[in-house]
């Protein structure tokens, strides 16, 4: 089983990453004007909110404090977060979210390489499933070049 200090660190950084993702999604949702894409990204932001709620009790159980819901400006997502804030087109916002989602996917994959208590593993596996869906959707948007649709409605 993983050392409890390492486990706490891992849980803490996943929760912080989910917090950063919520902020990045908010920035992207504000900038994207394709209604169906906006709606989908809002659902994904809700998944990240749920991840924070689900990870926090584990952090507390391991003796940590649940992370504050402010973006970690020194943290993992800062690059992607800044990118979304500074980009105004649908295309650039989606591409920034793609790199954010690649990062969350990688981080959840890495966490699952540890020997985890069963209840923690179950939550992390479920969250990774969400991350895979998010990335697949964003990739599909980019592949389909949704920003080039003549009408800004669902295809
Ligand atoms: Fe995600």
CA–CA distance, 50 with 47 (Å, rounded to integer): 5
pLDDT digits (tens, 9 = 90+) for 117-130: 999 999 999 999 99
Find the 126 Cα to ligand 1 centroid distance in Å. Answer: 12
Task: Assess if residue 141 is contained within a domain.
Answer: yes
Tell how far CA 72 is from the center of its chain.
13
Average pLDDT in the 94-109 region? 93
CA–CA distance, 121 with 115 (Å, rounded to integer): 8
pLDDT digits (tens, 9 = 90+) for 38-61: 999 999 999 999 999 999 999 999
Task: Assess if residue 155 is contained within a domain.
Answer: no
Query: Looking at the 3D structure of the chain, how many domains does it have?
Result: 1
Task: Assess if residue 15 is contained within a domain.
Answer: yes
Can you give the pLDDT at residue 151?
Answer: 62
67 vs 15, higher pLDDT: 15
Residue recorded with tokens 């989910």: 18
106 CB-near residues (< 8 Å, 6+ apart): none
Task: Provide the residue range defining the domain that includes 91.
Answer: 4-148
* CATH value at residue 89: 1.20.1260.10
Find the 130 Cα to ligand 1 centroid distance in Å. Answer: 6
Burial of 52 from C-beta contacts in 10 A (0-12 / 13-18 / 19+): buried
Report the mean per-residue pLDDT for the chain.
88
Task: Assess if residue 137 is contained within a domain.
Answer: yes
Task: Assess if residue 10 is contained within a domain.
Answer: yes
Find the 155 Cα to ligand 1 centroid distance in Å. Answer: 23
Can you give the pLDDT at residue 58?
Answer: 95
Find the 115 Cα to ligand 1 centroid distance in Å. Answer: 23
Find the 117 Cα to ligand 1 centroid distance in Å. Answer: 23
């Amino acid at each position: 089983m993983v050392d409890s200090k390492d486990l706490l660190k891992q849980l803490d950084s996943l929760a912080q990453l989910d917090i950063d993702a919520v902020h990045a999604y908010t920035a992207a949702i504000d900038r994207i004007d394709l209604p169906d894409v906006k709606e989908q990204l809002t659902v994904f932001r809700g998944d990240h909110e749920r991840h924070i709620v689900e990870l926090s009790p584990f952090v507390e159980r391991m003796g940590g404090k649940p992370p504050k819901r402010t973006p970690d400006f020194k943290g993992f997502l800062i690059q992607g977060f800044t990118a979304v804030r500074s980009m105004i087109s649908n295309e650039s916002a989606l591409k920034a979210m793609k790199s954010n989602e690649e990062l969350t996917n990688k981080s959840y994959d890495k966490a699952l390489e540890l020997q985890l208590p069963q209840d923690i593993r179950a939550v992390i596996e479920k969250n990774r499933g969400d991350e895979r869906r998010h990335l697949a959707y964003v990739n599909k948007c980019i592949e389909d070049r949704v920003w080039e649709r003549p009408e800004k409605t669902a295809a």
